[in-house]
Structure 1
Amino acid sequence: MLITGLICGILLGFVMQRGRFCLTGGFRDMYIAKDNRMFYALLIAIAVQSVGVFALIQFGVFEFSAGAFPWLAVIVGSFIFGIGIVLAGGCATGTWYRAGEGLLGSWIALFGYMAMSAIMKSGPLMPVNTSIQSVQLGSNSISETTGIPTWIFIVVLVTIVAAIVIRELKKPKVFIPQMKPKRTGLSHLLFEKRWHPFFTATLVGIIAILAWPLSVATGRIGGLGITTPSANILQFLVTGDQTLINWGVFLVLGIFLGSFIAAKASREFRFRMPDAKTGITSFIGGNVMGFGASLAGGCSIGNGLVMTAMMTWQGWVALLFMILGTWTASYFVFVRPRIKKTVASATTVTTA
């Protein structure tokens, strides 16, 4: 049954690579370019998954308990994670699928991410991780806290998302010149045609739904998850403990493989070596990302996509602080240097 994790991961990696489903770029563009399309795409994926998963729960396919809400760890960890993904050049899942494209900077970031996640979960920093996560509120479920049925929140979310989609699709289309198609039929649609982010998000949401029963069938109660499985891979390589190889490990390996297949088939795969500065920044970013995701109990997928769909405080609070962390890092990495350069140029002109 573990092979279903690999299949699910291949589908996810393929879809994310072809659809360029990058949450780091999406969060960053909200601030820098005032472009919210990728954030809207994330909301679509959350809504699709939420409807599907709670329908499965309603029919008794599996049970889900939101548990307690480690609010301090979620806030601090998610903010740090948001900073890390800007430095690393991609979130946890984005790093896996971009590594599958041959981007060696993502390999470097991925190693840092895996290493720090392992250190936080079972290494020297585990006491720090456990201590901060022990600061909790009683219930993580928004429904239990408010006394409002979960389906009410789902209906509200779906309504909001539907309104956003209708509004966005009604906007005048911007003409983007494209090269004459070299392929026809299904090959053109899969490997050449530009995928709409909303279509990609719908597929991601469907795959996220499938992940739940497939994972539960192996005894792992959860959906898509990246951080713990990534740490498990490194822990297994060091200790040889076969119990660390679970459905989640096959999932993340599948993401890499699915992205590789998509990149090769679309002729986008090529090894790209970063310069020394980018490589160092990617490694630092990967470590920061691993620290934050481990502390927060999830990354942009585990918290930002899955726990939001499960209508938990952890998911929505994490999503908010991830975005704030991304915006903070984007200011110092992209905006501030541009301002300094503009001021310096103006000063030079004035002096001349």
Structure 2
Amino acid sequence: MNTASLPLSEAAAAAPAARPAAPSWAQRLPLSLAVLALFGWLLWSISARQALLLLVGVGLGATLAGARFGFTTGWRTLVEQRDPAGVHGQLLLLALLSAVSMPMLAHFPETTAALGPPSVSLLIGAFVFGLCMQIADGCGSGTLYKAGLGVPLNMAILPLFALGSFIGSVHLNDWLALGATAPVGLVQRFGAGGALAATLVGLALLAWAIGRWSGRPLSRASIPARWIWGAVALAVLAALNLLIAGQPWGVVYGFGLWGAKAGTALGLFDPAGNAFWSDPGHAQRLSQTLLLDVTSITNIGILAGALWIAAKRPGASKPLTGQQWLVGAVAGFLLGYSSRLAFGCNVGAMLSGISTGSLHGWIWVPLAFAGTLVGLRVRRHFKF
């Protein structure tokens, strides 16, 4: 493996250790007990659903960190090195999850798709998000699991991401007023079979085009094992999220809710005067404990799962200059803001959107990729 081509946090994890590093059960035991205690408390005091979703989140975090399944990194290595392995792994994840999610949506009416309206906000938000995720070296899930691994930049970005997502939600209705159409759900229009067939054809065409451009067609040998087992594990866990929660895996909404709760508690925000947060569903979540929110509980689990992996293999990072910290902080805030405008990040818009048949997921991908091309130039300019 050429570790020089990986981000420092991943290169450190991939490089051979100077001496064998046994799993540190002494370090992992307190966290394991804390997670079990929270699971038990949720099961007893909240609901079995929230307790199970905590475990799903822990599994997601451990898989993302353990497999180093980075959506941002996969796009970056495709562009800079013409290495499609990461993107091929993401396409495999999309195909597997679509094959499970679409029939589930068709047969279980209590489940919902990750639908977002095609809109001006989607176009702008997806582009800006793709740009900023390369500067910040993480999307929504990437920021969570790298913060759990102890990477300083992502730890600093996490609260800014939440703030940006909250401000984006406050402004969302103004953005939608610029132009938006009704969400389009392929499962609802064509049934599970038709939607799945169209999705798999679209993914196959993408794989063919990427293989043609990179000179490395999709094959079993073209995808490293970590991308394969990571895709399989994430597909299973995301499908469980849909089955247990009744909604697809998401990240961004939880961040915005955290920001809204903080602003309300500090007396800086009146939700009754805002179109988004005065909506009955959002207002109810704002009035309840975070532990009742589906997205928040899985986000907490992702942090815990990544932290559990970090006990064995801590994240690493190079020292940043003051300018890099400032640019990274701005990028983190804009990640949150733009993801709310785009109705999700790589998880909520791309993965959950496409796998549940939302047209907005297919619109999000090319706009975010165009933003990535610009973001990589900015990243090189500031020497991240």
TM-score, normalised by the number of residues in structure 2: 0.71
User: 2:110 aligns to what SS in structure 1?
Assistant: coil
Structure 2: state its 5+ residue gaps.
1-48, 209-215, 266-285
CA distance 1:37–1:68, change in 2 (3 Å):
closer
Give the fraction of aligned pairs with identical amino acids, expressed as a percent: 18
1:254 aligns with 2:292: no
Q: Structure 2 matches for 1:299-318, cutoff 5 A?
A: 299-318=345-364
Give the aligned residue type for 2:197: V
Question: Aligned to 1:301, what secondary structure does the other structure show?
Answer: helix
Alignment partner, residue 287 of structure 1: 333
Separation of aligned partners in 2, 1:198 and 1:92: 21
Task: Indicate the structure whose relative CO is greater, using CA pairs within 8 Å and at least 6 residues apart.
Answer: 1
Measure the CA separation in 2 of the matches of 1:337 and 1:117: 25
Structure 2 vs 1, CA of residues 270 and 138 (structure 1 numbering), >3 Å: closer, same or farther?
A: closer
List structure 1 segments (4+ residues) > 4 angstroms apart after TM superposition: 65-68, 147-150, 159-167, 170-173, 269-273
Report Cα offsets for 1:202-250 as digits up to 9, x if no partner: 211111111112112xxxxx21111110122233344355526112111
CA distance 1:72–1:263, change in 2 (3 Å): same
CA distance in 2, matches of 1:160, 1:72: 24
Shift of 1:159: 6.2
Which deviations, in whole Å up to 9, do the C-alpha atoms of 1:264-322 show, x marking residues without a partner? 13x33568764423322221111111111011111110001000111211111111211
Q: How does 1:68-147 map to 2 (within 5 A)?
A: 69-121=117-169, 126=170, 128-134=171-177, 135-142=179-186
**Match of residue 310 from structure 2:** 263
**SS across alignment from 2:258:** helix
**2:15 alignment partner in structure 1:** none
- Of 193, 209, 214, the residue aligned with 1:151 is 193
Structure-1 separation of matches of 2:355 and 2:59: 20
- Give the whole-Å Cα distance in 1 for the aligned partners of 2:193 and 2:116: 20
Q: Which runs of 5+ in 1 are unaligned?
A: 174-193, 217-221, 339-352
Q: In the alignment, is residue 212 of structure 1 matched against residue 242 of structure 2?
A: yes
- Partner SS state of residue 298, structure 1: coil
Alpha-carbon RMSD across the aligned residues, in angstroms, is 2.8
The Cα of 1:18 is off from its aligned counterpart by: 0.8
- Report the alpha carbon displacement of residue 84 of structure 1 after superposing the two structures with TM: 1.2
State TM-score, norm by structure 1: 0.77
Counterpart Cα distance in 1 of 2:372 and 2:64: 20
Taking the aligned partners of 2:222 and 2:354, their CA distance within structure 1 comes to 31
* CA drift at 1:29: 1.9
Residue number in structure 1 paired with 2:43:
none
Aligned counterpart, 1:349: none
- Residue number among 14, 19, 41 corresponding to 2:67 in the alignment: 19
Decide which of 236, 246, 256 is 1:231's aligned counterpart.
Answer: 256
